Amino acid sequence: MSRRIIVIGAGAAGMMAAGQAAALGAQVLLLERNSRPGRKLMITGKGRCNVTNACTLLNELMDFIPTNGRFLYSAFSRMMPYDVIDFFETAGVSMKIERGNRVFPESDKAVDVVDALDKFCKQNGVKRHEERVVALLQEDGFVAGVKCESGNTYQADAVVVATGGMSYPLTGSTGDGYTLAKQAGHNIVDPKPSLVPLETQENWVKEAQGLALKNVRLTVFDAEKYNEVYTDFGEMLFTHFGVSGPIVLSASAHLSDIKKDRYQLLIDLKPALSHEQLDARILRDFAEMPNKALANALAKLLPKSLIPIIVRLSEIPSDLRVNQITRDDRQALGALIKSLPLTVTGKRPIEEAIVTTGGVNVAQVNPKTMESKLLNGLYFAGEVLDVDAYTGGFNLQIAFATGNLAGTSAASE
């Protein structure tokens, strides 16, 4: 008789686990509180879904996972990024690789990824019910099934918890998995936002609200330890509270114990130019319009909404003609453009985070199977675990790999 497996959560990890277990001959019931699967997947990558990162080496992949990367060795060994790409292309979703080795569907539509996973489940006979699980059923140290909010109970030989973390609660990630894990005796590492926008002290960000910068370099400096903790090149966005965008989200994963004036963000608006090259560029622009006010002379160099901010921060009188600007003032202006400072005051709420750091303590989970060390037949996959990574497709790679391993293990016991 085939094993009866319940998978809780129809996200990336849950659908991969359910489809894989069913493909190995198990009877699989997928329980999802939403009417549609993959709600969070639909909004990832601005609706384009960055499914993985095209790293080819396991050690290279580990460099992008700051939290409990070693725990993932077995999962990744069974499903590397090229395996994820092959999975979707075999399912009829062509993939493309963009800057930073980010992998997207060629269609730029997250719905194609969700549909492929849904089809994978259906073709292998997975049944899906719209239910919210509230309790695990246990018998003599083994999981025996689940109880749902509706009052329904379902029996099983194994249960896979793949409910996500606490980010984007409107998609169903409200921390239910932590409650279930605690019922089995698991410790939960305090969930906190990771990959989240940052709030800043300076009010001028409100003037630049909505401005997206491309091809800039962001550096995070820790004034307490007096060292650089992160640097990256790419896109960012000014908001009414501070900054967001890909390189800011990645930077946020490096910021812990945020205190007053501890972390400073330094934005290089012209990373392709050295200080000397930028000075020569400014001189050239000034030479073309010697009688213009400084603000007008910067029109070719900077985005319009940033110009009054840069002029004000430079402390050069805004009505001063460029032929009156001294060499020292010009070089100070260049230094500001190469290192525009912002002071971090905090992270945005966990509800706005792309992923959650924290979750089920991985010391209580077998990394070779994803099975609980405390309750036989209970498995975990995806963001519910205390693992997280930087932006660029790495978090979905974790979801697919742990889901694949959990589903395989549950069906093979």
Spatial distance between the Cα atoms of 375 and 146, rounded to a whole number of angstroms: 14
Spatial distance between the Cα atoms of 276 and 287, rounded to a whole number of angstroms: 16
What pLDDT does 174 receive? 64
Q: Which residues contact 57 (CB under 8 A, 6 or more apart)?
A: none
Q: Describe the chain by its helix, strand, coil percentages, rounded to 5.
A: 40, 30, 35
Are 66 and 99 spatial neighbours (Cβ–Cβ below 8 Å)?
A: no
Q: Which segments within 99-162 are labelled E, that is strand?
A: 102-105, 127-130, 133-139, 142-148, 153-155, 158-161
What pLDDT does 50 receive? 93
Are 103 and 54 spatial neighbours (Cβ–Cβ below 8 Å)?
A: yes
Q: Is pLDDT at 183 greater than 50 in this prediction?
A: yes
Tell whether the torsion through CA atoms of 273, 274, 278 and 283 is positive or negative: negative
Q: Are strands 212-222 and 227-238 parallel, antiparallel or unpaired?
A: antiparallel
What pLDDT does 192 receive? 82
Give the pLDDT confidence of 322-347 residue by residue, as tens digits: 889 999 999 999 999 999 999 999 99
Q: Tell me the average pLDDT across 76-86.
A: 97
Q: Is pLDDT at 304 greater than 90 in this prediction?
A: yes
Give the pLDDT confidence of 223-266 residue by residue, as tens digits: 988 899 999 998 999 999 999 998 998 898 888 888 888 999 99
Residue 215 is given by DSSP the state E
Give the pLDDT confidence of 32-67 residue by residue, as tens digits: 998 889 888 887 877 899 999 999 899 999 999 988
What pLDDT does 1 receive? 66
What pLDDT does 24 receive? 97
Q: Which residues contact 168 (CB under 8 A, 6 or more apart)?
A: 40, 43, 351, 353, 354
Tokens of 171: 């998609």
Give the pLDDT confidence of 260-284 residue by residue, as tens digits: 889 999 999 999 999 999 999 999 9
What pLDDT does 352 receive? 81
**Residue predicted with more confidence, 191 or 365:** 365
Give the pLDDT confidence of 123-176 residue by residue, as tens digits: 999 999 999 999 999 999 999 999 999 999 999 999 999 998 765 555 445 679
Residue 189 forms beta bridges with which residues? 359
**This prediction's pTM:** 0.82
